Chain A
Amino acid sequence: MTDRSTIPRHLDGNAAAGEMTQLFGSDITNAMGTCRLCGHRAAVGQTRAYVDGPGVVLRCPDCETVLMRWATGPTTVWLEMPGLRSLEIAIEP
């Protein structure tokens, strides 16, 4: 296993469910994302979430590519999805 001791301790994307519900209008932690760099597929709730910075950063659990990041200011939310190739969101039957 790679040594992660120098990387700040992360949470899971699931922990950011409240923030994402705010952003997307629904809970997407169950949606499946695919990493643009390595092709890894994981639920949004399964990504690595770094929340100690000014915003929230979700990284690929396999290669650490930034999948999504967002920062909330007083009047806007700035959202980037640099490493996310696709997001598959199930529709309720």
Chain B
Amino acid sequence: MARAATLPRLTWQGATISDVRRESMTGTTLRLDVADWPGHRAGQHVDVRLTAPDGYAAVRPYSLASAAGSSLVEITVDTTPDGEVSPYLAHTARPGHHVEVRGPLGSWFVWEVTDSSPVQLVGGGSGVVPLMSMLRTHRDAGHPSLMQLLYSVAGPDHLLYRDELHQLEQQGAVTHVYTRQAPSGSTRPPGRLTAAELAELTLPAAMRPACFVCGPTGFVETVLERLVELGHEPDRLRAERYGERSTP
């Protein structure tokens, strides 16, 4: 009998955690040292593999948070309670620990610096991570296009990239919506993003912005549906669904 074709195993690369920064009560940014990192595009992710001493391995995708064009490989992991992988990455991982990665991955959910159209980013919870890479890439490049972010987050304790986003908020490029707990002094009561708010806080469809939507699957579905209702053309929308999360 003829032998089936054989596939080479895709190489997992060793990565050493070189820096750990707490971002929020539940979220942590990890800097990874990866030999011969080819560079990435804003919006891409890596697969991270953890292997237990008994050989059991778990693989999860994590978006790259660092700017494209920087040589930094950084991911930000928010804790999924009782999860297999995220509690380790968000709480236990320390500089010097090793994990394995493959990537950079994904050519679909990518913002290219060569794109001159206006950009609307909409993130829910940890869905802000790849959008942060886009904002950083845009900022570092001094990019002329208009780019703004609408960020839906459970509460101030869950806010990622607080200082950096605060600066961008001052420039009018970022709006926060709190779903569970509003910061003191906020006039808006906590609650999910409404259709009216989405219309008011995002670029109008008439500008034909490229829209990038990322977060828990339910959040992404709702936002996409509403953007289409607001007149955005479906082919201007790109989405990255993270799966289910209880605290968008």
Contacts and interface: CB of A to CB of B under 8 A. Distances in A.
Give chain B's interface residue range (CB within 8 Å of chain A): 20 to 34
Contacts of B47: 18
Given A1-B225, A9-B218, A12-B239, A23 B7 contact: yes
A18 B189 CA distance: 41
B10 A43 contact: no
A27 B105 contact: yes
A45 to B, nearest CB: 2
Interface stretch (B27-35, B199-207, B240-248): B240-248
Interface string A73-88: 0001100000000000
Contacts of A66: none
Interface string B3-23: 010010110000000000000
B45 interface: yes
B241 A11 contact: yes
Contacts of B240: 12, 14-15
Contacts of B218: 9
Do most interface residues of chain B lie in helix, strand or loop, or is the interface mixed? mixed
Contacts of A12: 108-109, 239-241
B80 interface: no
Given A21-B10, A27-B107, A30-B108, A9 B217 contact: yes
Interface residues of A, number: 23
A19 to B, nearest CB: 8
Between B45, B47, B221, B242, the greatest number of chain A beta carbons within 10 A of the residue's beta carbon is seen for B47
A18 B61 contact: yes
A46 B109 CA distance: 9
Nearest to A77: B7
Interface string A51-88: 00000000000000000000000001100000000000
A14 B241 CA distance: 9
Contact of A14 (B4, B102, B106, B243): B106
A46 B103 CA distance: 19
Interface string B83-111: 00000000000000000001101111100
A34 interface: no
Contacts of B61: 15, 18
Interface string B207-248: 000000000011001000100000000000011111110000
Contacts of B103: 18
A29 B102 contact: no
A65 B230 CA distance: 28
Between B59, B61, B108, the greatest number of chain A beta carbons within 10 A of the residue's beta carbon is seen for B108
A44 interface: yes
Interface in A1-49: 1, 4, 9-15, 17-18, 21-23, 27, 29-30, 43-46
A43 B108 contact: yes
B98 to A, nearest CB: 19
Interface of A: 1, 4, 9-15, 17-18, 21-23, 27, 29-30, 43-46, 76-77
